[in-house]
Amino acid sequence: MPVVDVHPDELRQLTGHDDKSDQEFKDDLFALGLEFEGETEDGAFQLEFGPDRLDRLSVEGVARSLRYQYGDARGVYVPKTNDPDFTFVVDEDVPEERPYVTGAVIRGVDLDEDALDSLIQLQEKLHATMGRKRAKGAIGIHDLTMIKGEVLREDTSGNSITYTGVDPQGDTFVPLDGDREMTPAEVLDEHQTGQKYADLVGEYDRYPAIYDELGLFSFPPVINGRRTEVSTESRELLVELTGTDQWTIDRMCNIVCYALDARGATIEEVEVEYPDRTAVRPDFEVDTKSVPHERIETMLGVDFEAREVVDLFERSGLDADVNVDDARDDAADQSDTVYEVSIPPYRVDILHPLDLVDDVGRAYGFNELEPRYPNVGTVGGRHERSRLEDAARASLVGLGFEDMLNFHMTSEAEVHDRMNVEAGSDYLGGGDPARITGPYSEDYTILRTWALPSLAMVLENNTHRAYPQDLAEIGLVAERDDSVNTRVRERRHVAAVLARHDATFEDAKGRLQALCRDFGVELETPATTHPSFIDGRVAGVRIDGDDVGVVGELHPRVLVEHDLELPVAAFEFNLDALR
Amino acid sequence: MRLPESQVAVLNAASATDEQTIDSLADETGLKPETVTQAAFELRDEGYVAVSEEERVEYDLTDEGREYVEDGLPEVRLYRAAVEAGATEDAVGMGQVIGASGLGGPEVDIALANFGRKGYGQIESGQLSADADADAEDDPESVVLTALEAGEAVVDEGVLEQLVSRNLVERHEQTVRSVTLTEAGVTLLMEGVEAAETVDRLTPEMLTSGEWEDVEFTEYNVEADAPEVNGGKTHILRQTADRVKDVLVGMGFQEMEGPHADADFWINDCLFMPQDHPARTHWDRFALDVPPIEDVPEDLVDRVEDAHRNGVGDDGDGYHSPWSEDFARAIALRGHTTSLSMRYLSGHEVGDLEPPQRYFSVEKVYRNDTLDPTHLLEFYQIEGWVMAEDLSVRDLMGTFEEFYAQFGITDIQFKPHYNPYTEPSFELFGRHPETGELIEIGNSGMFRDEVLEPLGVECDVMAWGLALERLLMLMYGFDDIRDVHGTMSDIELLRETEVLR
């Protein structure tokens, strides 16, 4: 979940609530769903929240939410914008993998250190979330005064910049934190930031690039050029975003513009000229959705009057129109009331009218609701499989076994090599395991094919503990099996080991017999071979005529492999046999 | 009167006038000293004898001391050889005397050191001279050693100390107990006592023959520790799971069951998780190297894809994210058991469900988290949901308050939260019953229309989940889950772990 650093002093300044204590802010923020996780060295709150309200990824957005919560602001707010002066021309050479661009011009900015830090943080946080680590959308912010716009056409006075594609070995520029001219390919090879994001564009024939009259100045989504670097001295900014989805970058752009507007800047539109169409950005269009009054009441379990609901919407930064003329009359029947709710363009989380009901609930205060136990009767019960497993576990514990719980993930070395079993053999445990694609650790590469190897590992890790060690486990084992719908055959196995100085076949079989007696099934143990066990001291477990497992004395080779210095008798079989 | 055999023997042997030690009573009765001691204490407790205690010091020869009784002290042997070699007249070469004495090894140093100390002569520049007046044959240390060997009493404390420091004698302190008959004891004897047979173990023969009626059972030291016994025990995490299942079944929940390896379709797509959601990237899940799922209900796939792309309802919007059926069909280990909820809600597990319904599971899930004391790659998730007409957030709150109250967690707070699959969503916080701290105890919400509509569910469903391990740690004070779950488990810790109640 995203974490945003917000300094309480800045919150006081931006909300105008100078008198709020740190603790009051923390409580108010918790009510908004922002959890206080800790403090930075300079006293900023580290706030964690769900990745829905991405407009709160900066102190400006958090302050805006607080102002609504405090009732200082109401309803939808849309910043005023000036008409476009700049044009973003999208060239036909733009890489087809990253065709979209948007942006804005920002004038009259006065960035102190805190505001600049906040802007950079917002940019990074948006990259990490909506931008999907810049793959889906990336933001570049530039000092506008360092950009020399080209005159677009003779008949216009406008300035333009061009979003296009560049040959990886083509034009050069000095990247941020760089000290020399580099080609885009060199940036990916040699520059620290370039290396980090190389995978995003490495496969492209032409790399995304933005030009002004002076040449290449930005290499999205990797890095900006040093020429247009933003500082506290910057008074005018150019914001550009490129990505794989227009809606996504437009919304990211809106969140940035709202934050700068909160700092007193003026937003100026830009024209985006695609080969086949033209658009004006940023897109501050207000969306609407219809929310029935009844849905709000049933979802929250509270009876509302229409004017209360409208008030709650406005306190959430939304506007609501009511479809019924007399709906605001307290006595009115609200069964047909529907709210036409306006949604400001920085909200990226409203997919469905339900999301607006949630806003009403938050504004009302969910913790104000009186809990009630739902008045519906149902009959509870355990699943047959889990009842069987518990019954078998109770029998094993009664026989003196310590009940173990091991991981289902392990390695082929553990289930095969170290147990002396050849992979792909017909022996119990020898089956083809379900392998993890690109495993992260060599200890966890497959699902275990049988359970005895896990118990052998527990014995191996407890040789310093008192004997006898009688251990049992009932748990999942799995094999790859393409005839199963999910391609993995999952079974529950019963496995047990008796590690004692005088352990013999009979110790294992005796307990197996007792277990089978508990479940009223018939046990036979025909002689067999299994490479994990000593020949002549191993038998198949045949229950009610089905071959379901193996019982015997573990082979010395297996014991020595696990650093065990005493005999171990063991059995393992399919739990379903006890049904 | 009947008394145990040993007590009768001690009574008969004891005297009212002379103290007798335990050892002498043992000699006289032919019983072991410890048996006599026990009998004496038992008689004393009845008032028949008095037992007095005296601390005694005894000296025993060490092996070395016994050797010297036999061979003579090394310095005495050296003196004899020196006299023989004429060292009482003129100094003789040391090597010659030692050679003649037959001393060897460490004995030589011992001899030389004590030779000087006792004034038997002098050693200068390798020449040894002996004092003709020395009385080595009556050496006091020799005399005492010989007396101790013969069991005679020795009173010369100085010489004894010297011998202790030479490690030829060991000093022991011992409590010597002596027994005398009391008046009650004398009276009892005059009235006559008979010996009752005492037995160590009750045998089947005694029971069948009736002999048990005439025997006394020897008393055990019932306060002493018995040898360790390790019985079997249900794993602590299983016990916790059983406790949770008990509570949920009691609240009317049915248990779900389903595959650990499943299609992403059931694990994520049905849950309205966009395919480019960070939790669906390679790093967070365990994809399996197997072919895609063979069969998913095609009409359901279409509806789920439509929900992702276009949303549901007149005013619904979809995600601005890519969606592909291939990705949905890929098999992975489930990252949550909500995949089971999806299977059940879809009607493909146990048939179409009519409200009301309550379902739960306490099953394993797999996540590539950072390993730490509270996180493993595999853990148990408690998952539950309630399906009914017109459920509200208040019903959700009431259900969870009831559930957590069963574990002593009260004062539940609901923090508004975001999940892609529920709205409204809440993180649940509660007061730790011991520390009073506000702690996160679960995640919950009402399933979104985008989840329910494609599944064909036309009423409300509220759901919640939390890690079983978290409950174990909070309620029962475990602090490192790695000690009990997995092949690194410590058997000793499991044996010592208290059971839940």
> Is the domain of A466 the same as that of A398?
yes
**Which residue of A lies nearest to B413 if distances are taken between CA atoms?**
A367
Residue B327: name the closest of B263, B384, B376, B278 by CA.
B263
Q: How many angstroms separate the CA of residue A210 from the nearest CA in chain B? A: 25
Q: Are A325 and A396 in the same domain?
A: no
Which chain A residues touch B289 with a CB distance below 8 Å?
Answer: 434-437
Rounded distance between C-alpha atoms, residue B480 and residue B16, angstroms: 68
Has B382 been labeled as part of a binding site? yes
> In what order do the strands lie in the sheet containing A469-480?
A402-403, A469-480, A488-499, A568-574, A546-554, A533-543, A523-524
Nearest CA in chain B to A247: B320
The string of pLDDT tens digits covering residues A114-128 is 899 999 999 999 999
DSSP structure class, residue B287: B
Final residue of a domain: which of A20, A41, A70? A70
pLDDT range class, residue B499, cuts 50, 70, 90: confident
For position B438, what pLDDT does the model report?
A: 78
If pLDDT is split at 50, 70 and 90, which confidence band does B61 have? Answer: confident
| pLDDT at res. B200 | 81
What integer is the mean pLDDT of A88-107?
95
- Which residues on chain A are in Cβ contact (under 8 Å) with B263? 486
Provide the pLDDT for residue B93.
Answer: 84
Report whether pLDDT(B80) > 90.
no
How many Cβ pairs closer than 8 A exist between chain A and B?
281
Q: What percent of chain B has pLDDT over 90?
A: 39
If asked whether residues A10 and A35 sit together in one domain, one would say: yes
pLDDT of residue A457: 97
Nearest C-alpha in B relative to A491: B259
Is position B447 annotated in a ligand binding site? yes
Residue B431 reports pLDDT greater than 90: no
CA atoms within 13 A on the CB side of B294: 8
**Cβ-based contacts of B288 with chain A (< 8 Å):** 434-437, 447, 487-488
**Residue A75 located in a structural domain:** no
Task: Tell me whether the CATH fold assigned to B63-157 matches the one assigned to B237-260+335-496.
Answer: no
Say yes or no for a CB contact (<8 Å) between A478 and B261: yes
> Has residue B239 got a pLDDT over 70?
yes
Using alpha carbons, list the distances in angstroms from residue B248 to A195, A382, B251: 52, 10, 5
Please indicate, yes or no, whether residues A479 and A344 belong to a single structural domain of this protein.
no
pLDDT the model gives residue B220 = 80
Among B83, B74, B75, B77, smallest CA distance to B131 is for B83
Please state the φ and ψ torsions of residue A554, each to the nearest 5 degrees.
-60, 140
pLDDT for B147? 86
Count of residues for chain A?
A: 579
B487 and A486 within 8 Å at the Cβ level: the answer is: no
| CATH number assigned to the domain with residue range B63-157, chosen from the 4 options 1.10.10, 1.10.1220, 1.10.3470, 1.25.40 | 1.10.10
When pLDDT is cut at 50, 70 and 90, the band that residue A445 belongs to is very high
Smallest CA–CA separation between B393 and chain A, in Å? 5
For the segment B256-315, what is each residue's pLDDT rounded down to a tens digit?
Answer: 999 999 999 999 999 999 999 888 877 788 999 999 999 999 999 999 999 999 999 999
The span from the CA of A297 to the CA of A291, in Å, is 11
Quick check: A458 and B425 CB within 8 A?
no
Return the top range by mean pLDDT from A345-359, B3-17, B160-174, B476-490.
A345-359
* Spatial separation of the C-alpha atoms in residues A122 and A136, rounded to whole Å: 16
For residue A302, tell me if it sits in a domain. Answer: yes
Give the model's confidence band at A154: pLDDT under 50 very low, under 70 low, under 90 confident, else very high.
low
Query: Any known ligand binding at B383?
Result: yes
Q: Are residues A249 and A300 in the same domain?
A: no
Show the 3-state SS of B199-244. Answer: ECCCCHHHHHHCHHHHEEECCCCCCCCCCCCCCCCCCHHHHHHHHH
Listed in order, strand segments (DSSP E) in A323-449 are: 338-343, 402-403, 409-410, 446-447
> What distance in Å separates residue A251's CA from the closest CA in chain B?
11
- The distance of B104 to chain A (nearest Cα, Å) reads 46
Query: Which CATH number is A135's domain given?
Result: 3.50.40.10
d(CA B398, CA B396) in angstroms, rounded, equals: 5
Q: Which of A370, A403, A465 sits opposite B235 (nearest CB)?
A: A403
Residue A377 belongs to a domain = no
- The DSSP secondary structure of A238-298, one letter per residue, reads EEEEEES-HHHHHHHHHHHHHHHHHTT-EEEEEEEEETTEEEEES--PPEEEEEEHHHHHH
Q: What is the pLDDT of residue A281?
A: 95
Given a cut of 80, whether residue A35 has pLDDT beyond it is: yes
> Which range of residues forms the domain containing residue A9?
3-70
Q: Under an 8 A CB cutoff, do A299 and B393 touch?
A: yes
Report yes or no on A375 lying in a domain: no
Query: Which of A540 and B475 is assigned the larger pLDDT?
Result: A540
Residues A549 and A443 in one domain: yes
The answer on A447 and A540 residing in a single domain is: yes
- At A156 the pLDDT is 64
Report the range out of A550-559, B39-48, B221-230 with the highest average pLDDT: A550-559
Give me the CATH number covering residue A293. 3.30.56.10
* One domain for residues A411 and A515: yes
Interface of B with A in 415-454 (CB under 8 A): 415-419, 423-427, 446, 448-450
Domain termination site, one of A22, A49, A70: A70
Per-residue pLDDT band for B321 (boundaries 50, 70, 90) equals: very high
Residue B341: which residues within 8 A CB-CB, separation 6 or more?
A: B256, B359, B383, B385, B463
Domain match, A416 and A509 both: yes
Please tell me whether residues A541 and A406 are part of one structural domain: yes
Chain B residue with CA closest to A303: the answer is B392
Residues A268 and A294 reside in one and the same domain: no
Query: To the nearest whole angstrom, how far is the Cα of B493 from the nearest Cα of chain A?
Result: 10
Tell whether the model's pLDDT for residue A149 goes beyond 90: no
Among A345-359, B119-133, B408-422, which range has the highest average pLDDT? A345-359
A171 has pLDDT over 70: yes
Same-domain check for residues A270 and A139: yes
In angstroms, the separation between the Cα of residue B324 and the nearest Cα of chain A is 16
Report, as an integer, the average pLDDT of B418-429.
92
pLDDT reported for residue A155: 64
Q: Do B233 and A299 touch (CB under 8 A)?
A: no
Whether the pLDDT of residue A249 is over 90: the answer is yes
Task: Report pLDDT for A330.
Answer: 67
Q: What percentage of chain B exceeds 70 in pLDDT?
A: 99
Residue A372 lies in a domain: no
Say how far apart CA A318 and CA B381 lie, in whole Å.
37
Mutate to test the interface with B, among A407, A446, A452 (most CBs of B within 10 A): A407
A328 within 8 A of A307, measured Cβ to Cβ: yes
Q: What is the CA radius of gyration of chain A?
A: 34
State the best of B282, B295, B394 to mutate against chain A, taking most chain A CBs within 10 Å.
B394
Q: What is the pLDDT of residue B140?
A: 86
Extents of the domains making up chain B: 10-61+158-192, 63-157, 196-226, 237-260+335-496
Mean pLDDT, rounded, for A469-483: 97
Mean pLDDT is lowest, of A143-147, A378-382, B15-19, B340-344, for: B15-19
Is residue B370 scored above 80 in pLDDT?
Answer: no
Q: Do A487 and B390 touch (CB under 8 A)?
A: no
* Amino acid in position A192: Q
Which tens digits make up the pLDDT trace of A510-537? Answer: 999 999 999 999 999 999 999 999 999 9
Q: Spell out the SS3 assignment of B324-370.
A: CHHHHHCEEECCCCHHHHHHHHCCCCCCCCCCCEEEEEEEEEECCCC
B377-418 pLDDT, tens digit per residue, is 899 999 999 999 999 999 999 999 999 899 888 888 888 889
Which CATH architecture does the domain made up of B237-260+335-496 adopt?
A: 2-Layer Sandwich (3.30)
Residue ending a domain, choose from A250, A281, A312: A281
Does B221 have pLDDT greater than 70?
Answer: yes
Chain A nearest-CA residue for B388: A376
| Structural domain contains residue A139 | yes
Cα–Cα–Cα angle for A262, A267, A271, nearest 5°? 150
Residue A327 has pLDDT above 70, yes or no: no
Residues from chain B that touch A405, judged by Cβ atoms under 8 A, are: 235, 237-238, 484-486, 489
pLDDT-derived band of residue A157, with 50, 70 and 90 as boundaries?
low
The total domain count for chain A is: 4
